[in-house]
Structure 1
Amino acid sequence: MASTQASFHSNSLQETVRPLAAFPENIWSDRIAPFTPDKEEHEMYEREIEMLKAEVNSMLLATGKTMMERFDFIDKIERLGVSHHFDIEIENQLQEFFNVYTNFGEYSAYDLSSAALQFRLFRQHGFNVSCGIFDQFIDAEGKFKESLCYDTRGLLSLYEASHVRTHGDEILEEALAFTTTHLTSGGPHLDSTPAKQVKYALEQPLHKGIPRYEAWRYISIYEEDESHNKVLLRLAKLDYHLLQMSYKEDLCEITRWGKELESVSKFPYARSRFVECYFWAVGALYEPQYSLARMTTAKAGAVLTMIDDIYDAYGTLDELQILTSSVERWNSSGIWDSSGVDQLSDYIRTSYTTLLKFNKKLGEDLAKRQRTYAFDKYIDDWKNYMRTSFTQSRWFFTNKLPSFADYLSNGAITIGAILVSSAALLYMDCALEDVINWLSTNRKLMAAYSTHMRLMNDFGGHKFDKERGSGTALECYMKDYNVSEEEAARKFREMWQDTWKVMNEECLRPTPIPRDVLKMLLNITRVSETVYKHRIDGFTQPHAIEDHIRAMLVDFMSI
């Protein structure tokens, strides 16, 4: 599994050689100050927000606006991060527009920016609008008209729309190439603000960005626009600030919980990433009603990290066999097997006890809420995660590099994406049995979701893992297809573009589950885009995502 090895004392007199990793330290250990919201300030902001919401709602529903004016207003509401206040109104308007304006061939008066905005908003909300809306911008040779290359606003809108493409949307493949070429060449020659917008979009497409971070960015951009709506801007700032207050309160609870676990002394082999786990949870479910779901997801993620590092950077093969077998015997009705754990090292035994206590307490709470069906699925996902983690450990302890197909199939489980989404679902307000059954049968969506996470993780962490001697998906692919690392990396980029197309397809209507569940899965994927880009594992190397964490959780927005 790793070439870097060290000795740790187990509960025997002998020393055991272990595959330890030199993980970077926790960069937040002394930087999260205690926080208690000012009750009067909180109530004052809430009252103002309610008044501002009423004003914005009146603007949203006002008659006399053109359809494009309505689309533009909805887009601003969403990009500023306040759409959670107007979900029903936005849904009703888009449904009405979709019912009336499905034949885009009759509406060729739209400019490129307007057409692309309509298309993107419809697709992002699950309406399967046709790419035919772009036919008017295509020349006789089936290419985008060269005259469009001077329309920066239109190019940027089309570029953003190209990222909601699905399989078969050939015109959007052409759109992505066309817009990327012209925005890259023309961007540096623009004025300062448009140039910054183009540069950022090429780096981080809106559809693949973390919604809360994208709201933080857009608020400052929108404020620079002299024509901005002052009421809408004020609502966005106050809403962001108020949610940050809630996040900071929860973050203090997460870090306090982490300190109570005594992770530094009891789990010194593992990454201490409590802040990063909460950041991921906020990225997945930022809305105020999901506070408990966020906390559960963050804690489950922290425990998962601890267990993951046992398999990757501490346990011996014999110990991992005992650990995996113990979890296999779990019963969510109350039988939590501990047989054999006395043979484990102190650190692993303590980690296992922490895992048991966490899940047992969670199960008791969910039983009171009559959500045992969801908890049973969550426990099954833990078993599957441990089982596949042991398979992966066995490969690398025996110096076996599996086929790429075997590695990817197994790794789609060991990445923990399915387990984390199961934890998030436990406290979401939805018919869990229906949701779980649908997700369990929709193999395309869940396979694309978990495969994307595995590919991104291995791509980002390849250098670190390679230095330790651990096998990765890139190495398996290079071996199977006899290609260079660069060729394998290029293929990986193609594969995760393909997984995005699948996810975009599977989120189109009709679907029998709430859109919040689908958004949660997409948002977890979006966080991975940020955490693992630039061939850096930002979870293991947390300085890479420090700016995102500060913007979303630590530094208050000026209001």
Structure 2
Amino acid sequence: MDNNNCSKRIEELQENTRKELQRASDPMAAMELIDTLQWLGIAYNYEEEIDLWLNKLSNWDAGEDLHATALRFRLLRNERWPVSCDVFKKFMDKNGKFKESLNQDTKGLLSLYEASSLGAFGEDILSEAMKFSETHLTQCIPGMGPQLRGQVTRALELPRHLKMARLESRLYIDEYSMGSNFSPTLLEQAKLDYNKVQSLHRIELAELSRWWKQLGLVEKLSFARDRPMECYFWTIGGLPEPKYSGARIELAKTIAILLVIDDIFDTYGSISELSLFNNAVQKWDLDSIEQLPEYMKICYMALYNTTNEIAYKSSKNRAEMFSLPLDEW
């Protein structure tokens, strides 16, 4: 499928999903759909629709359903909506412990564990929820089916919100396709979207690689780390959505240069040289680099030119956004 046909097909599939979100009337079904969209890595296409649903869910009571309560809590808190951990008090006994009768609700326990990982300092209820759910999930693993066992094992290794979204979506697409109730529309959309975003990543990485090669820092400074790809991979973890394409490239450039500066400070430069370099950066004045040794001049100029280039692009984008002359920024 060529790019034009691929884009048209994605738009068709997105429109169907958008209508499904808009027409949904059951909060539980809407939460499950939003959760699936997030797992598949395509929720960023429905920010407005999801935000409307989160507004409704903020005033909805999930009752005595542990899975629904925990899922609602996680969806709201993950998007920084105000939600109190007191919603879990109804599942606790008079001693402040979670009721042992919950240990058979594996789906609910898994949702509770994921929700508890979003706890803040001092939220003792969520600390108790994590200990309770982790203990019982670990005990139940041997008797679980392969698919559920995989989900629980991965969850216990690292909470979901701490994982790299793009890697998780790739894993979940395969897992989702093997389920009995998957939506062909969502599955096709997820695959097409994933491939489209991967193509964007390749373009970004090619641009970063060209810049790094032209910069020539590693060739001139043999002690410096040569890790532009690692730096770029890090930015995908922090800024996974396609709209942050420019930010990923510029951030990766910054990190790559900072690694070289880190090498200078940790392994190569003398105390007196480091003091001179620090003063030059503080002044941010090209005249101040005359006192630096040659290898530091090279690094300083790379930092200076790259920072100014990023600042110019940022100012230009803001000026274009508000249709103002660049010199007004």
Same fold (TM over 0.5): yes
Distance 2:251 2:310 in 1: 11
Distance 1:146 1:158 in 2: 14
Distance 1:97 1:325 in 2: 53
Corresponding residue for residue 238 of structure 1: 192
User: Contact 1:138 / 1:145 at 8 angstroms: preserved in 2?
Assistant: yes
2:111 to 157, 160, 170: 157
Distance 1:343 1:181 in 2: 58
Corresponding residue for residue 178 of structure 2: 224
User: Contact 1:137 / 1:144 at 8 angstroms: preserved in 2?
Assistant: yes
Corresponding residue for residue 73 of structure 1: 33
Distance 1:339 1:122 in 2: 51
Report 1:267-282 matches (<5 A): 267-282=221-236
Deviation at 1:215, TM superposition (A): 1.5
Deviation at 1:195, TM superposition (A): 1.1
2:163 to 205, 209, 216: 209
- CA deviations over 1:324-353 (Å, ceiling 9, x no partner): 1111111xxxxx324354541x32221112
Aligned residues: 322
1:93 to 2:42 alignment: no
Give the counterpart letter for 2:38 in structure 1: E
- CA deviations over 1:400-451 (Å, ceiling 9, x no partner): xxxxxxxxxxxxxxxxxxxxxxxxxxx9x89xxxxxxxxxxxxxxxxxxxxx
1:351 to 2:299 alignment: yes
Partner of 1:299: helix, strand, or coil? helix
Deviation at 1:261, TM superposition (A): 2.0
Partner of 1:292: helix, strand, or coil? helix
Distance 1:80 1:370 in 2: 32
Deviation at 1:322, TM superposition (A): 1.0
Report 1:455-474 matches (<5 A): none
- CA deviations over 1:265-302 (Å, ceiling 9, x no partner): 21211111100111111222222222111111111111
Partner of 1:59: helix, strand, or coil? helix
Distance 2:258 2:292 in 1: 22
Corresponding residue for residue 339 of structure 1: 288
Deviation at 1:185, TM superposition (A): 2.1
Corresponding residue for residue 52 of structure 1: 13
- CA deviations over 1:227-248 (Å, ceiling 9, x no partner): 0111011111111110000001
Give the counterpart letter for 1:337 in structure 2: L
Give the counterpart letter for 2:159 in structure 1: P
User: Contact 2:289 / 2:297 at 8 angstroms: preserved in 1?
Assistant: no
CA spacing shift, 1:147–1:366, aligned 2, 3 Å: closer
User: Contact 1:156 / 1:183 at 8 angstroms: preserved in 2?
Assistant: yes
Partner of 2:98: helix, strand, or coil? coil
Report 1:90-129 matches (<5 A): 90-98=50-58, 100-101=59-60, 104=61, 108=63, 110-129=64-83
Give the counterpart letter for 2:222 in structure 1: P
User: Contact 1:116 / 1:161 at 8 angstroms: preserved in 2?
Assistant: yes
User: Contact 1:270 / 1:306 at 8 angstroms: preserved in 2?
Assistant: yes
CA spacing shift, 1:340–1:301, aligned 2, 3 Å: closer
Distance 1:132 1:327 in 2: 49
- CA deviations over 1:302-328 (Å, ceiling 9, x no partner): 111111111111111111111111111
Corresponding residue for residue 92 of structure 2: 138
2:253 to 291, 299, 305: 299
User: Contact 1:322 / 1:341 at 8 angstroms: preserved in 2?
Assistant: no
1:62 to 2:16 alignment: no
Distance 1:57 1:364 in 2: 37
Tell me which of the two structures has the higher relative contact order, counting C-alpha pairs closer than 8 angstroms and 6 or more residues apart: 1
1:257 to 2:211 alignment: yes
Distance 2:221 2:76 in 1: 47
Distance 2:15 2:137 in 1: 39
Which has the higher mean CA deviation after the structures are superposed, 165-174 or 197-206? 165-174
Distance 2:289 2:88 in 1: 64
Give the counterpart letter for 1:60 in structure 2: L
User: Tell me, which stretches of 5 or more residues in structure 1 are unaligned?
Assistant: 1-39, 331-335, 372-426, 431-559
Q: Compute the TM-score of the two structures, normalised by the length of structure 2.
A: 0.91
Corresponding residue for residue 325 of structure 2: none
Partner of 2:117: helix, strand, or coil? helix
User: Contact 1:323 / 1:341 at 8 angstroms: preserved in 2?
Assistant: no
Give the counterpart letter for 2:6 in structure 1: Y
CA spacing shift, 1:168–1:49, aligned 2, 3 Å: same
Q: Could you say which structure has the higher helix fraction?
A: 2
Identity of aligned residues (%): 37
User: Tell me, which stretches of 5 or more residues in structure 2 are unaligned?
Assistant: 323-329
Q: Compute the TM-score of the two structures, normalised by the length of structure 1.
A: 0.55
